Structure 1
Amino acid sequence: MPVRITRGHPRYKLAYQLTHRVQELAPAASYFTEPQPIFTASYRADLDNLGAPRVAELLGAIAASAGDHRLVLLCFEDLSKPGLWCHRQVFADWWQERTGDAVRELGPRATHEQIPLM
């Protein structure tokens, strides 16, 4: 079940529908102008304020309403080049530190350039 954790929409056509969103997991727009260490510290502080129990509640509600516990948290950054990062990775690290549960990455898949626009 795809779950958007971004403020903005993808800038390309998706091969699936986005019906779920957790706005609380989207970083503030102002963070994106900061260097990575400041972005990360600010975003992690927001996550700490939200708390792992509340995140679990938000994601659990989506899983229950969708009838599917297999959620995929989405951002729409192109991470195909080495050294690139995104807030979803920052969240995954934070979540594992707080809960002990790893957030798995999906394997290789088609990039948005490979998905034909309809």
Structure 2
Amino acid sequence: MLNLFTNRYQAFLPAQGVPVRITLGAPRFKLPYPLTCAVRELAPRREYFSLPLPEFTAAYRADLDQLGAMRIAQRLRQIADEEADHRLVLLCFEDLADARQWCHRRIFASWWKDATGDAVRELSPMTYEQGTLM
């Protein structure tokens, strides 16, 4: 069993599951938790960072299509098995509470739902505090 969530580095709480980096670079600020897992294949390529959202989305989803859900699931299950926790939280930088920001982690979540039928919820401290975490 695999439960995927997304969050930002600064809002992640260790009780939410296993933090998994899905960015090209690691945070340059100190985190209050260890960040030992990464799936670099889920990071968007540098060459389309500056594209408008529709073009970025198309390019990123094309990369995900090329990787395939089975290969991604295999890598994520490997992390879950190694960490002995089926809750993986895919992390990046953007604060989605700011309506002007968007992020590849939610594009991944949409693609994953389309590819597998499984939802990937965005977490926040409020989500966890309300006890709605799986």
TM normalised by structure 1 equals 0.87
Match of 2:79 in 1: 62
Work out whether 1:105 is the aligned partner of 2:115.
no
- Map 1:32-71 to 2 at 5 A: 32-71=49-88
Greater Cα shift, 75-84 or 99-108: 75-84
Alignment equivalent of 1:74, drawn from 86, 91, 94: 91
Tell me the matched-pair count. Answer: 109
Residue identity matched to 1:56: A
Any stretches of 5+ residues in structure 1 without a counterpart? Answer: 110-118
Residue identity matched to 2:99: P
Q: Distance in 2 between matches of 1:59 and 1:74?
A: 13
Q: Distance in 2 between matches of 1:37 and 1:73?
A: 22
Residue identity matched to 1:14: L
Task: Give the % identical residues.
Answer: 62
Q: Distance in 1 between matches of 2:111 and 2:96?
A: 19
Which protein has greater RCO, CA pairs closer than 8 Å, 6+ apart?
Answer: 2
Any stretches of 5+ residues in structure 2 without a counterpart? Answer: 1-17, 127-134
Match of 1:9 in 2: 26
- What value does the CA root-mean-square deviation take over the aligned residues? 1.2
Alignment equivalent of 1:87, drawn from 100, 104, 112: 104
Does the C-alpha gap of structure 1 residues 92 and 45 become closer, same or farther in structure 2, counting only changes over 3 Å? same
Runs of 4+ that moved beyond 3 A: none
Q: Distance in 2 between matches of 1:97 and 1:108?
A: 27
